[in-house]
Structure 1
Amino acid sequence: MDKPFDAPEGFSADRFFAILRRWWWLVVTIVCVTIGVSYAILDRVSPRYRATATVVVSPKSPRVIADIQEFVELPGGSRRDFRAYVETQLGIIKSQRVSEIVLDELNLWDDERLFKSAEPKEKGLEEAVSATELRLKRANLLSKRIKARRVPDSLTLEIQFEHSDPVLAAQVSNSVAAAYVSQNLDLKREVLSEARVDLKKLLVKRKISKEAAETSARIFEKEQDITAVGTRRKEVAGERSFYNEKVLEATSKVVRTEAELAEIKMTKRKGLFGVGGGAANAINPVLSELKVQAIKFHNEVSEYRLIYGKNHNKLIGAKARLSHVLSAASKEIKGLYRNAKARHEAAVMEKEKFDLQFESARKEDEALSSAVEEYKKLQKELNEQTALYDRIRKRYEETIITTSLAANNLRLLDYALVPEKPYWPRRGPIMLGSAFLGLLFGIGMAMLLERADTTIRDKTHAEAILKIPCLGLVPTIPIPSSQPGLEGIQERDLYVHAHPLSEPAEHARTLRTNLLFLSAERQLKTLLVTSPLPEEGKTTIAIQTCIALASAGGRTILVEADMRRPRLAETLSLKANIGLSTFLANRETEIQDIIQASAIPNLDVIPCGLIPPNPAELLNSLRLNQLIVKLQEKYDMIIVDSPPINAVSDALVMASRVDGVLLVAKAKQTTSEAVKSAYRALHDVDAPVIGTVLNDLQKGYFGYYRKGYYRKGYYRKGGYHRQETLDAVEAAREKELASVDDGSDSSNQKAG
């Protein structure tokens, strides 16, 4: 046998609706109370009316004159800028300034509908404050009650006011809208007036600056003779070009004379024979001729020295001629040097003269250019001052015109109408919401109470607790108040026999059918009926099960093993001095001595007998095993009524000796912990627990039978009499039992 599973119970839709069916009266009560309280509260709340006026905000003010631009421009650059502008306008609508205009227009400063009469203490405080402070206080109170919002994706603003007086709500809403539109235009005019004064002052300053610029330009033009500057600049430019060419020529001449002077210096330093032919010709042809003669005489001197010797007359004559030529050449070179130096100095002087003339022309040209630039700056300053003055003057003239023709970008689109229905309280939605909240609260309370209820509630709950099937559901058996005590117990125990067409009888037959189906799958001839605690109906279930089995034709015996509180002898009118305790305690007692026949066909009973002092020891004897074996040979089904599991250990002693254990729990009384404890105890002794039976269920749980399936005489509708119906039912049950027995025999043969 598997160990019980102690996980928390699951939650499903079926379980949810089962809880609602159980606690429907609580949910309905809470819903009704919630609706009633809501209705009572709403009946005491004074209705409030909301009036709404609509204003259109244009992105740009309309232009009366196309060429004149508005002085006060609206932000039209981006959506963010316009959104900020709209938020500003909403703040203006709810401002104290607009509220003061409304209070003045409607004369509502002392209206008790807006400002309730103060208590004496508050009146004294109001007298203490000044009139200005009181106005600000009441304007602030009114501004807090004004509501304004922008209609999404539009250029319209809604101005709303709420009050218990619908006429006053409409008046205040329209007055606020009109005050907002008019104050916007007044604000424009005020800004324009202030701007006109500021522009007038600025215009005077700009005029002075313009005149100062004109004076400076005129004086400079007169001093510098600007009209002749252009002509003179052209002349100076010509002079600069001329002297520049002269300077270049003089410079070239200086370079040539310097080269000539350097050549002559080199000739003077090297002598006549150091001058090349080309250089001598370039310096002076005479010098070149002298060089030729000097070379000739030099050759003669060399030749005569070789031929005639040192003192020969020819040699002496040749030397004299050579010396004369060299002296003449030296004089010529010196003359050339003096001439070249004189030319060079003249060229340098000429260049310096042209440089001075060119520099003078350049400076004059720069002075003229500077004068022109300064004149341009003065003219630029004059133009700027003139343009600024003209712009301010034009703006000043436009401000004068726009002040008289100020256009408003706000327009009152719709006036607020007197509301016919209050917007608060909305009885329909509030009542519906209160009903919904009451329903939620009721469901929550039902779930909370269900959570707090640890007893076994229904079949699903029982199966979820122990993870074993619930084989039977037994409804509450009504006991008349006129039958207290033993008579009432007998009536309940034998109710199935006395009322075979009742709901408890049908449920007893259902339990019998489930047991018979189980016996087809496994050997089930001995069945122990027990419960976790006393007073849970295990004895009644045992008797009803025996009656159902016996009515189907099966030989059934009921063994009373509850030696603590026996009652079968009294219930079934049997002998109480002999029974199970007698057989277990006395070895000479035979089985047939303790078996007693009941008034119910096919049902025998072994009562408890005398109550022994040691029930557990007797039930643990081998005589009990012998009794069970003998009874299995004679009877088709043995039902053992045992004491409660959690109270005493008697049932545990017998649990392992039977083919199956049926655990009985009482609905709404047996706790889940008690059932689990009993199941664990049975599990510890390896008892074959086959299922549970849930006893004492209220008839409301059986919706099928609540419709009167049996109570309205289902069988009699077909024209059958009571006895015929009973015979037919018994025949059907016998046939069912026989088929089950045949199936079990064939399955046993196959298994063998």
Structure 2
Amino acid sequence: MGSKNTQPPHVGVPETNQAGFSTTVTDTTLSEALIVLRKRKLVLIIAVLLGLAYGIYKAESQPKLYEAYGRIQVRSGSSNEYRVSAVQAYGGDASTKLLSEIEIIKSDSLMLTVCREMDLANNADFLEKPTAPQPRANLSDGETRQDTVHRLQSNLHVTIVAKTDIIRISYSSLNAKLSSDIVNKVISDYVQRSYQTRYESSQRASVWLSGTLDGLRQEVEASQEQMLDMQRRLGILGFDPNHNQINESLDDLSRAAGAAKLARIIAEARYRVVSGMDPNTIEGTIELTPGTAPGELTQLRAQLAGAKASYATLESSLGPNHPQSKASKAQIDELAKEIDEEQNRLIVQAKQNFVVAKANEDQTTAALEAQKTDAYKLRDQLVEYTLRQREYEANRTLYDSLKSRLRTASVQSGLESLDVDVVDQALPPAQPVLRPQSTVILTALIFALLAGIVVAFLMESLDTGLRSIAEIESITELPSLAIIPRARRSSVDQAATLSTAQRNVGILTQPKSQFAEAFRSLRTSLLLSNTGQPPKFIVLTSATPSEGKTTAASNLAAILAQRDTRVLLIDGDLRRPNIHHRFGLNGKIGLTSVLTGATKLEETVQSVPEIPNLDILPSGPVPPFPTEMLSSAAMETILKRCGELYDYIVIDSPPILSVTDGVILARQADAVVLVVRHGKSSKHVVRRARDLLLRAGAAITGIVLNAVDLNSPEYYGYYGYSGYSYSSVDSDSWESQTAEGEHTNAGETKR
């Protein structure tokens, strides 16, 4: 076998013997979405037809429903000004209030009340049945209750009239009178419920307030009794805590203590002075005894001085022994004694006065301190009294407020029924309400079309088959060499006149078809894959069986042989050979015969009469060990000999994911073409085959997408020139020019 090509690929053709090739797939655009829809047009057509059929059925079979309606006005009511608490009043946006009322109207409890009062569970018109259920249904059963309530809720429509506080309530059924009765019953029960719930709420508030008032009244009485008892203990008159006996006594004692202290100071000073003075000057210094005549001691002293003068006279005239003198002398002694006694009495009196003043001061001070202690206690008691008084006032204020609220709640409970006014009672409708048939059909078509689009894209996302060239190039990172359209089968009459090779090789019977042009494009891509040195050994393989590699190899060999070049087609599938069947040749001898030495190469190759330049080397007998034979030195020798005799050698190999034969043949080739069948091969299978070839060092030239339906949206207009036809002269001229040019390239290759 000749050496492999190592030159760079032709300009514009990506290099394939490396894994660096990549193709960027653009993001999903509107055009790609349209392609998906065109590809899945059958799904869309089926969806549209089903939607049309369903719409016609619904339009023709829609029931004649009678819709009755009534209207009510929901307003704040005149009782809001008497509400017990602002929390009960509706606040905020009026629309929020109306939405809340709508939910109340459609609540399960109100619907269940209507169902019970009208016995809807046994109403044939309500159940849309010819007769009432037997035995009679009971709403105590959970399933029956749920079905009846849900049926009523589903047919009851409650809406707000725009820019008003009016609510519209309507019901649709097969019976006009039943519709109006249900609406009127719903309105009646709603009004009754509105009145009852608010009345019960006010009554609950009244009962709670009454119980609270009893407790508050007892607390007020207890706190008042404690406050009065504190007043009695404190001696407070009325409610003025500033005038009490303790405070008045404290003032008197404070004044008495001051006076006693002053008196003690004066008495002490008098005593100190009197006790330390000259007795002769006592009477002239201070008043000895308050309230006593200050001249008593002076009189005694005057009498003493007179007695002494008389005694001196008598003594000088009568002598000391004279009785008169002695009598005068005795009088002097008596007066002196009295004076001494009087002086002592005055000192004792001053001392006693001092002691009395001191005792008075001590007692007054002790009484004042005791009174201060009582005053301090009084202060603490006054604080407690203040707290008691405040507690009493707070309890009395709360009691009065709640008592007033209780009276308000009694008034409010009678005014709550004014919140809901019935504007219109429901009347039985005269005509049924039918939707326009065109609207029903159009709606069904739109939803069916949308469902079809969703299913189409879902099927597209779940489809793992490879159908788009851009997708295949993105998955494999390999260039696409050609797109082979699906071959047209010959008619029975035409096939009867054709040879085996003509029936199986499409380019022989349809040389100007899209199928033949695709293989010419493949031939051109392969010959230009390497600059200046076209590949000699070309291996066609696939990831899995039945992807069309044998068909591709046969037609490619036939296209290459339509020039002045010799081409050899080797059936390298030693396990399931098929080439000899395609050309109607003998398969008893072939490649295995040459490898075993049973025959020679020149004796084994077979020619095809329809294609003079094409020789076929069949597989021959199926060997027991195909892999060993293909990887032997004899195989390399045969391929080298083939390279000397032929310009191009096309080898059909087995699927590379099934056996390793294809990988062995790919390593010995100048160009490896991976055939992928449109819509059959999955992404991971093709990627796995690509990886095996790259790891084996095979020169992967590119991929061929086989059996493509050119009418599919992905390839619409791919062969836009298909309507163009060649004249016989032009065709022959083009063929001859192409053959001459390629023969020149082949000659350069040989040189």
Fold conserved (TM > 0.5)? Answer: yes
Structure 1 residue 467 corresponds to structure 2 residue 471: no
Q: Deviations over 1:313-358 (max 9, x none)?
A: xxxxxxx9x999986763342242466579789999999xx9xxxx
Cα distance in structure 2, aligned partners of 1:566 and 1:198: 101
Structure 1 residue 626 corresponds to structure 2 residue 641: yes
1:122 is aligned to 136
Q: For residues 438-517 of structure 1, what are the structure 2 equivalents within 5 Å? A: 438-448=452-462, 450-451=463-464, 457=467, 459-460=469-470, 462-464=472-474, 466-475=476-485, 476-482=487-493, 487=498, 489-517=500-528
Conserved in 1, the CA contact under 8 Å of 2:17 and 2:698? no
Structure 1 residue 659 corresponds to structure 2 residue 670: yes
Gaps of 5+ in 2: 1-15, 211-242, 289-293, 302-329, 365-387, 624-628
Q: For residues 590-739 of structure 1, what are the structure 2 equivalents within 5 Å? A: 599-600=610-611, 604-608=613-617, 611=620, 616=630, 620=635, 622-631=637-646, 637-644=647-654, 646=656, 655-668=666-679, 683=694, 686-701=697-712, 709=720, 712=723, 714-715=724-725, 722-730=727-735, 733=738, 737=742
Q: Secondary structure at the match of 2:512?
A: coil
1:176 is aligned to 186
Q: Deviations over 1:139-185 (max 9, x none)?
A: 98999786767899985555454534455434533453356447756
Q: Deviations over 1:99-128 (max 9, x none)?
A: 879998x999986534776444337x79xx
TM-score by length of 1: 0.58
Residue type of the partner of 2:671?
Answer: G
Match of 2:88 among 75, 92, 110: 75
1:24 deviation in Å? 3.7
Q: Secondary structure at the match of 1:724?
A: helix
Structure 1 residue 531 corresponds to structure 2 residue 541: yes
Cα distance in structure 1, aligned partners of 2:209 and 2:603: 135
Conserved in 2, the CA contact under 8 Å of 1:53 and 1:416? yes
Cα distance in structure 2, aligned partners of 1:590 and 1:401: 121
Q: Secondary structure at the match of 2:517?
A: helix
1:737 deviation in Å? 4.6
Match of 2:74 among 57, 62, 65: 57
Residue type of the partner of 2:491?
Answer: P
Cα distance in structure 2, aligned partners of 1:195 and 1:584: 110
Indicate how the Cα distance of structure 1 residues 149 and 592 shifts in structure 2: closer, same or farther if over 3 A, else same.
closer
Match of 1:557 among 551, 556, 566: 566
Indicate how the Cα distance of structure 1 residues 255 and 98 shifts in structure 2: closer, same or farther if over 3 A, else same.
farther
1:433 deviation in Å? 3.7
Residue type of the partner of 2:616?
Answer: P
Cα distance in structure 2, aligned partners of 1:559 and 1:182: 101
Conserved in 1, the CA contact under 8 Å of 2:553 and 2:650? yes
Conserved in 1, the CA contact under 8 Å of 2:122 and 2:132? no
- The RMSD of aligned alpha carbons is 7.2
Conserved in 1, the CA contact under 8 Å of 2:557 and 2:614? no
Indicate how the Cα distance of structure 1 residues 670 and 491 shifts in structure 2: closer, same or farther if over 3 A, else same.
farther
1:726 deviation in Å? 0.7
1:303 is aligned to none
Indicate how the Cα distance of structure 1 residues 71 and 16 shifts in structure 2: closer, same or farther if over 3 A, else same.
closer
Conserved in 2, the CA contact under 8 Å of 1:28 and 1:442? no
Q: For residues 415-454 of structure 1, what are the structure 2 equivalents within 5 Å? A: 420-421=433-434, 432-448=446-462, 450-451=463-464
1:504 deviation in Å? 1.0
1:531 deviation in Å? 2.9
1:25 is aligned to 42
Residue type of the partner of 2:489?
Answer: P
Indicate how the Cα distance of structure 1 residues 20 and 240 shifts in structure 2: closer, same or farther if over 3 A, else same.
closer
Match of 1:408 among 410, 418, 421: 418
Percent identity, please. 17
1:638 deviation in Å? 0.9
1:659 deviation in Å? 2.3
Conserved in 2, the CA contact under 8 Å of 1:538 and 1:664? yes
Cα distance in structure 2, aligned partners of 1:195 and 1:163: 42
Structure 1 residue 113 corresponds to structure 2 residue 125: yes
Q: Deviations over 1:594-622 (max 9, x none)?
A: 7968555xx61233389478775695153
1:295 is aligned to none
Q: Deviations over 1:62-95 (max 9, x none)?
A: 79xxxx9678988348549997998589647859
Indicate how the Cα distance of structure 1 residues 680 and 157 shifts in structure 2: closer, same or farther if over 3 A, else same.
closer
Q: Deviations over 1:276-316 (max 9, x none)?
A: 9899723679989999xxxxxxxxxxxxxxxxxxxxxxxxx
Cα distance in structure 2, aligned partners of 1:413 and 1:250: 96
Conserved in 2, the CA contact under 8 Å of 1:580 and 1:607? no
Choose 531-540 or 722-731, whichever is displaced more.
531-540
Conserved in 1, the CA contact under 8 Å of 2:483 and 2:708? yes
Q: Secondary structure at the match of 1:122?
A: coil
Residue type of the partner of 1:169?
Answer: S
Residue type of the partner of 1:622?
Answer: T
Q: Deviations over 1:474-502 (max 9, x none)?
A: 22232323466994742344532443321
Cα distance in structure 2, aligned partners of 1:672 and 1:438: 26
Q: Secondary structure at the match of 1:604?
A: strand
Cα distance in structure 1, aligned partners of 2:675 and 2:161: 70
Cα distance in structure 1, aligned partners of 2:513 and 2:618: 32
Indicate how the Cα distance of structure 1 residues 523 and 327 shifts in structure 2: closer, same or farther if over 3 A, else same.
farther
1:311 is aligned to none
Cα distance in structure 1, aligned partners of 2:208 and 2:601: 134
